[in-house]
Amino acid sequence: MSALRGDRAGNPDPLLVACALRIEQTALRSAGRGDYALLRTGMGPRAAERSVARALERTGMERAAVLATGFCAGLVPGMHPGDLVVADQTRDPHGAVTCTGTALLAEALARAVPGRTVHTGALTGSDHVVRGQERAQLRATGAIAVDMESAATLWAATRGDRCPSEGGRPVAAVRVIVDAPEHELVRIGTVRGGISAFRVLRAVLPAFYDWHRSLLLPRR
């Protein structure tokens, strides 16, 4: 995890950005230095839950906002690699977690990555890569995308009501689609889709900062 820094306004409430994979971490780091803590959790829901729980036990993280990010699989026909997903809630066997400031975050992403489609809806968790018919089954539940860590990350961040501030700890999940129903990873074009998703992920940090700063305003 990177060293923790305060935001540019000097507010003590930090932002923790969590991703699972080294390539996701590389994309976020290559965007340049910023006022956030970057945590690579490792792959899968168990690794994400453990890593986030440990990170939030550190001194100074009691009021940290948590944002899960990285790549995902789209579930809705018509989605394309490089599209963005902003979760209004995450779901997994633990239950559903409602995200904070979804509309504001979606607007900030549209400004940060112009020309990219931003989808808003439920993001479901899985403990394995989802393909074929299972995609359709998850779509039938109302989810628009699936990944392995976001739901576990947000559940770990909100369980036990660790955040003392009114309304609980701010949490969000933003994912970049790397494969979709018509663009599965096993098909030709995978490399092109992966490069597109990497470039989008590298561009999203300004939107994360906007979201975080907007959440801090009412507390001042």
Domain of residue 175, CATH code: 3.40.50.1580
C-alpha span between 153 and 94 (Å, rounded): 11
C-alpha span between 142 and 157 (Å, rounded): 23
80: in domain = yes
7: in domain = no
2: in domain = no
Question: What's the domain range around 68?
Answer: 15-219
Instruction: Please provide the size of the chain in residues.
Output: 220
The helix (run of H) or strand (run of E) holding residue 160 is none
Is residue 73 classed as helix, strand or coil in its secondary structure?
Answer: strand
- What does each of the 220 residues of the chain score in pLDDT, given as a tens digit? 443 333 333 446 899 999 999 999 999 987 666 678 999 999 999 999 999 999 999 988 988 999 999 999 999 999 988 999 999 999 999 999 999 999 999 999 999 999 999 999 999 999 888 877 788 899 999 999 999 999 999 999 998 655 444 468 999 999 999 887 655 554 434 445 567 888 999 999 999 999 999 987 654 3
Domain tally for the chain? 1
191: in domain = yes
Q: Determine if the pTM surpasses 0.85.
A: yes
Predicted local confidence at residue 112, as pLDDT: 94
C-alpha span between 106 and 144 (Å, rounded): 15
Is residue 121 a contact partner of residue 139, using CB atoms and an 8 Å limit? no
Predicted local confidence at residue 34, as pLDDT: 66
Predicted local confidence at residue 193, as pLDDT: 57
C-alpha span between 19 and 78 (Å, rounded): 26
C-alpha span between 201 and 185 (Å, rounded): 18
Predicted local confidence at residue 111, as pLDDT: 95
10: in domain = no
4: in domain = no
1: in domain = no
